[in-house]
Structures are given as C-alpha cells and as structure tokens.
Amino acid sequence: MTSSSPNLHLWKEYRIPLVCMAVGIATLSILLSNKNNIAPKDDKEDSKGNLDTSAPVETSEDKPRTHQGLKKADFKKLPKVIRKKPKQKKADDEPGCCGGKNKAEGDNSTGCCGGKNKPSNDNKAPHCACSTTTSNATPITVIDPLALPELVEPMKIFYSTITGTAKLFAQQLYDSAINAGLPEPKIIDIVDYDTEDFLTETGLCVFILSTYNVEGPNDWFLKWLEDTRFDWRVEKGALSKLRFSVFGLGDSAYTEEFCNGPRSADKWLGQMGAQRVWPFGEGDKNGDQGGAYKQWNDAMLASLLDPTQSHVHEAYFSSDDEDGKSASENDDDEGDVDEDEIKKTKEEKLGLPTIDGDVSEGEMVDLEDMGNVAIKIKQAKEDKALDEEAYANQKVRAKRSVGETKDGKAIKPREVREMVSPLLHKSLTKQGYKIIGTHSGVKICRWTKAALRGRGFCYKHSFYGIQSHLCMETTPSLACANKCVFCWRHHTNPVGTEWRWKVDDPEFILEGALENHYGMLKQLKGVPGVRAERFVEATQVKHCALSLVGEPIFYPHINEFVKLLHKKRISSFLVTNAQFPDAIASMDPVTQLYVSVDASTKESLKKIDRPLFRDFWERFLDSLDALGKKGQRTVYRLTLVKDFNTDEIANYVELIRRGQPDFIEIKGVTYCGYGGASGLTMANVPYHAEVVRFVELIQEQLGAGYEIAAEHAHSCSILVASTKFKKGDTWYTHIDYDKFFELVESGQKFTSLDYMAETPSWAYFGAPEGGFDPEETRYFRKTKEQRKAERERREGEDDEE
C-alpha cells in the first residue's frame, strides 16, 4: 500500500476510534454474559455446601409470565395491573443476609453469610443462616390475581336502591375486595348502566338488587333480561362470557313477592349462559338483613380467592327444565340421566324441525325455512308462558310435604316471636315512643304540649270538641299492611298481612298505655308556660286516638280493648287503612270510626299506599262498603299529596257516594323530613289555599247532601259534613261524650245523630278565627326576617340609652 491510497488514508484517520469501539463492545458482552450466569439463591448445593453449577439454571427472567389456560395473545389483552410482575425485594431488605443492612461491621463479604454469621447452635444446617429454611418468620402470602380466573378483570358491583341499603352493601363488598388485595372494583348504579353492554361483559358482575312492589330502579334491567331471555333471535348462550352472583333484598311480609325481582334476575342470567360464581343470597328486612349479607359476602369472596375451586355453581333455577324446577329438585329424581337427552334443544325434545346455523348471527334465512322460524317463534312464546306460570305458582321451590324437611324429617313448629325486635325497639324509643309489651306503643302529641301551655288545640277540637291535653295517642298494634309514601314514622314500624306475633292482653295494654302517658306528662311539669289547671286536668285521660302508628284494627282483641276504654269513660277514635273489611264489619261501636282514603284509583292507591295485599283494591272497596253499614259516626280521611292524588276529584266523589260517610276530613300532607323511601319533598305539601280549592271542587260535584262545615287553618285541614248534622244555619259536628257513654251502656242500637253536639261559630269554615279557639293564645313562630328586625330594634334602643 502506498501513502496515496485512499483506503490507507481513511484507516490512519479512524483507526483509533474503531479500535476503542470494538474493545467497548467486547467488554459489554462479557459483563452481560457474567450477569446472566450468576446462580440464584435457590441453586442446589452438594453435600459439602458447595453450589452445584453443573445443573442448568432457569432464572425468573427466562420464565414466561403466562397464566394457566391463557394464550399469549389473550394474556397481552389483560389489564396492565394484572400483567405487571411482582416487585422483587432488594438485598438491603433481606434481614438475614450478610450483604444486607444486618451485615456485621467489618464484614466485606458480598454473598450469603457463608457460615460466618450463622447461629452458633446451627452446626448441622448446611444452608445459609439467612435461608428461609431456618427462619422462624411466617412467610407472607401474596395473592396472584392470575391464579383467580374470575378476577382477571376488576369486579363490577351493580346495585338498585331507593333507601340506600343496597348501595351501603355494595360499598361493603368494595371494601372487602380491597382489603383482600384484589383490583379495585367498580360500583355502578343499575339505572346508569346500558343494559346492552351486558352482552359483551367478560368479567365478574355482582348484583345487589332490592325488591319493589311499585316502580323501582331495577325495573328496566329486569324487563331487559326478560325480553332478551325469551327473544328467539338471541342465542341461548348470549351471556356465556359473563360471570355473576346475585344478592336480593326484600321484606318477607310480602310473602310470595319476597325477593321475586332478584330471583328472576338470577334465573334469567343463568338461562342465558352466564356462569354463576356463587349461589343466590337474600336478606330479609324483618330479620337480620345485615348479618345475612355479611355471611354471603364473606363466603363469596372466600370462594373466589380459593384457586382450587371451580367457581361455577348450580343455578338456583334450572335453565333447561320445562317446569322450572330447581337444581336441587333434579338431584332428587330417581334413575340415571341420559346426557345426550340433556344436550338436546327444546325443539329436538318436542320433535320440531330446527334451523341450521345461527340466525342470531345475522345470516340470511331461505324462504323455505320461514316455516321453521315461525315454529321457533311460537315455541319461544310457549316457553315464556310456561316459565312465567311455573314461577307464579312457585314451582321453582323445593317440593316437600307440609311439616317435613327435604329428607323427610319433621319440622319443629315455628316459634312465635315478638313484634318489636331489639333494633326496632331502639329506633322507636329514639323517636319518643314508649313501647308497651310486645306490640303496642304510646306517645305524647305535640298538640298536648301546646295545650298544656294554652297555645291551642289540634283540629279535632274545632271539628269534634276534643281538647288535646285530655287525649292519649296510642295503638295496640305497631304493625301495618301498608308502607305509605307519606308515613310520618319513616317506615320504622313492622308490616304484615296476618298476625304472626305474640298477643298481649288488652287490659295489660291499656294500663301500660295510661301509665306511660302519665309518666311522660309528669316530665312536662317543669316546662316554662305550663298552666297548673291544665296540668291537673291532663292527669285524667278523656279521649283515646287509636291512630298513633300501624293498624289498630289489626289487633286480634281490638273489640275488648275498645270496651275497656268505654268502661273507663274514655272516647275512642279509631283509624284504619281500609285493608281489613271483615274486621271493620265485626267492629263494636266506637265513638268515631275513620277510614284512610289516600287515593281514588287502583293505580294511584298502589303508588301512594304501597299495600302488601295483592287484592288491596278489592279490600279497599269492601272496607268502604262495610263502613257504610255502621251506625256510628264514620269519617273519610283524605291526605292530599301534590303530584300524587290531587287530580282525581271525580273518582273521589264516586267513593264518597259509595261509603256515605258522615264526615270527610281533607288535609294537606305534613312534611316530616322523608327519606329516600318516599322521595317526598316540601314541594309535595299543598298550601291551605290549594286544599280549600280542592275541597270546593269536591263539594260542587257532590251536590246536595254535603257541605263544607269547619276548618282548622293552622293544620291545613277542612271538614266536609253531611247536611244531616246541620239544623238551619247551625252545625252539630261536635260530640256529646256523656250521651255516647250512656248509649253504649244501655246496649240499645243507636246512630250518629243520637250523640251530636253544637259546633262553635269560631270553628265554622270561613270564620276569621280560622278554627283557632279564641280563648287560647295564638303563638306565631317568627321568621328569620322578623327575628333580624327585632334584634336591630333592640340594638337601637340600647344605643339610645
């Protein structure tokens, strides 16, 4: 080569950088090779404690991060939180290794203890002193989500609620899952989720659904499930990728309607191919609902966290049976089961022609096959009818003889329990009730407190001549057959359609009510403003309002209880919710018998009263008929709730003509801070002028026979009376109580006209007093503006001084 050669020239110019680059690459290759050949801690050792490097070593870097049963492509689709490798501990975190933070001073070794820091009494163990084989520490179990097939994706928790109970339980499941180290679940209100998205769900969905006998938040979801289940165009396994479990909330007082919505959801999800990871659970409001849910919650999570379980459970409802029998019933059938027969479709079982291919996938159907399609549509409708009939007849429940268990053993007779549970007792006493025995209660009315201070009486004083401080408000039955949206007890009392509790003696109840009533009055003795003469008068009860809470006529011995009242010369004002017509018909004479008429049509009555009886409307009409046959004073009580029952005037008129009551009390609903169970707000409370207008329209359509008699503007109440209680221009809506007791003691038949008394002029409708007794002191609560003006006036007077 000559110096003029271009290649030589380039070599001389770049030889040093090229040589340095080659040396660097070689050095890096050697370092990487040595790093990969370092033996891990768990390498095998020979009998002398030396590492055995002859055996091939597979490091954690070489092991593929896969999951049993998942392909590589599917594994890559998993969420990043699942695919992420567990974080490896550093050497400094190991407490027993010499290279870590616990290494002795002056020890320059970088490997394991090598015996230098090994315990002196450990002469036989060939392992390192920091080895887990000689450590007494309990190893920490780390949950690998890849070992849990049902939890590869974050759990979704769906709930439906009005009162907030289902949402609370959903939050409890969320917290339990987080504490178990699972990926963060998603809590979703069922009304905020697009139901069509369930067809593409591949994860675990837990449903916590409440039961409603009126419109509820899960209606759309249940309707979609039902329509999809019986739509012949949707393939049978449309939800085969979905895994689910259902917990239902309900009230056993609704008997056959108890948890029917959640049960249907569980059934239809299973019938569409969804895999049930845990059996259906239910919580009864009349029992330990929270305890039942916690047990179901803990058991489900324990099952999901156990990788040895299959997580596929028997359907609560069989998805293949024609008669809707449950899986437990199928297990009882004798004889062997033909597996080929099970795999047959319903068309094959019935010998009907089937369609080749899957129509639901969008394939075209030949004209010749349209007959088969029509047959399939007809069969789907028949299947739906059979399934609904089976469910309505409760064929899905286990078949067994009355008084026997599934295995033929005798069932112990059900123990009669007390109506007031400890939890209910605590809730009612917190509201000011005094509980008597096992099913009765008494409470001081706010008008009693006002009357003791001379601040007026309730509307009963204007209408019927009752002084509030002489009245005791009680009930012999805290239970009711309705769950009215305007219930001022916030649905804390029990419900039921038949008496299934212990029964207390009527004399015991009356004595307990009087004792507790007088005891509560004594506590008011020191209240500022209480009049001494009123306080002395209040120590002798003259009237009893059986309208505190619940359904007094529900009490089996209500007639005996009323007779005891009359024997003590205490008048009786009994209110019933028109669901027990037989009890009304057999009721002995009372001073005044009320029936609550909260709506005038079947639909609105169901919406506002939310009755437990299926035949509630028939019972309602029969109660009005029974009321019309009573000889004593009868009253319709109408509670007006805006946007609920104020637009049915013509229907109200028809009901009034049917029962022919002596009086009609029409009042606006009282707002008591209703919770989510009703959804009422102050916007649903009508003004007095609105109530007056409603009454005027009622009276106009009633025509002759009824007129507006009295009012109590303070209570937003109006009294419409039969004209038979009017003589000339004078009304006789008040009661001659002494005359009533004489008639009762005589044992002779009498009518409401035999013990009427004159109504004072200040109680008349349109009177300037507005139904407020002029002898009482009217107390006006000052508004915020008035209090501010009063405060400024006083401050001005102080400045002048």
In the structure, what pLDDT confidence band is assigned to residue 140 with cuts at 50, 70 and 90?
Answer: very low
Which residue intervals of 38-121 are DSSP H helices? Answer: 72-76, 80-83
**Average pLDDT rounded to a whole number, residues 644-673:** 86
What is the tens place of the pLDDT at every residue in 6-25? 666 666 676 777 777 877 78
Is residue 205 domain-resident?
yes
Structure tokens at 636: 């319709």
Is residue 228 domain-resident?
yes
For residue 214, give its domain range. Answer: 145-304
Is residue 44 domain-resident?
no
Highest-confidence segment of 71-80, 304-313, 494-503, 676-685: 494-503
**Average pLDDT rounded to a whole number, residues 262-286:** 88
Residue 710 has pLDDT above 90, yes or no: yes
Q: Residue 283 forms beta bridges with which residues?
A: 249
Q: Is 82 exposed, middle or buried (0-12, 13-18, 19+ CB in 10 A)?
A: middle
CB 289 within 8 A of CB 324: no
| One-letter identity of residue 427 | S
Predicted local confidence at residue 469, as pLDDT = 92
**Average pLDDT rounded to a whole number, residues 539-544:** 94
Residue 378 has pLDDT above 60, yes or no: yes
Predicted local confidence at residue 573, as pLDDT = 94
Is residue 536 domain-resident?
yes
Largest pairwise CA distance in the chain: 151
In the structure, what pLDDT confidence band is assigned to residue 324 with cuts at 50, 70 and 90?
Answer: very low
| One-letter identity of residue 790 | E
| Residue 419 DSSP symbol | S
Consecutive H or E run containing 37 = none
Share of the chain above pLDDT 90, in %: 29
Consecutive H or E run containing 276 = strand 275-276
- Distance from CA of residue 188 to its chain's centroid? 16
- Helix pair 602-609, 616-628: axis angle to 10 deg: 100
Q: How many domains does the chain have?
A: 2
What is the tens place of the pLDDT at every residue in 388-397? 555 554 433 4
Is residue 18 domain-resident?
no
CB 673 within 8 A of CB 685: no
Q: Long-range pairs for 183-187 at CB < 8 Å and ≥24 separation?
A: 183/79, 183/81, 183/82, 183/145, 183/151, 183/153, 183/154, 183/155, 184/154, 185/154, 185/155, 185/156, 185/157, 186/154, 186/155, 186/156, 186/157, 187/157, 187/159
CATH code of the domain containing 171: 3.40.50.360
Q: Residue 556 forms beta bridges with which residues?
A: none
Q: Quote the strand ranges of 616-691, DSSP E.
A: 634-640, 663-668
Instruction: Identify the domain boundary among 279, 304, 329.
Output: 304
What is the tens place of the pLDDT at every residue in 542-565? 999 998 878 899 999 999 999 999
Is residue 662 domain-resident?
yes
Q: Residue 51 forms beta bridges with which residues?
A: 45
In this predicted model, which residue has the larger pLDDT, 624 or 414?
624
CATH code of the domain containing 496: 3.20.20.70
Instruction: Identify the domain boundary among 304, 323, 339.
Output: 304
Is residue 355 domain-resident?
no
In the structure, what pLDDT confidence band is assigned to residue 666 with cuts at 50, 70 and 90?
Answer: very high
In this predicted model, which residue has the larger pLDDT, 139 or 181?
181
Q: Is 724 exposed, middle or buried (0-12, 13-18, 19+ CB in 10 A)?
A: middle
Which residue intervals of 490-531 are DSSP H helices? Answer: 506-522
Share in percent of the chain as helix, strand, coil (round to 5): 40, 15, 45
Q: Quote the strand ranges of 526-607, DSSP E.
A: 543-546, 571-576, 592-596
What is the tens place of the pLDDT at every residue in 747-771? 888 999 999 999 999 999 999 998 9
Give the residue carrying structure tokens 């805290």: 478
Nearest to 753 by CA among 670, 638, 633: 633
Nearest to 699 by CA among 718, 686, 715: 718
What is the tens place of the pLDDT at every residue in 566-580? 999 999 999 998 999
What whole-number distance in Å separates Cα of residue 359 and Cα of residue 95?
A: 65
Is residue 86 domain-resident?
no
Count of Cβ atoms closer than 10 Å to residue 417 Cβ? 12
**pTM of the entire structure?**
0.55
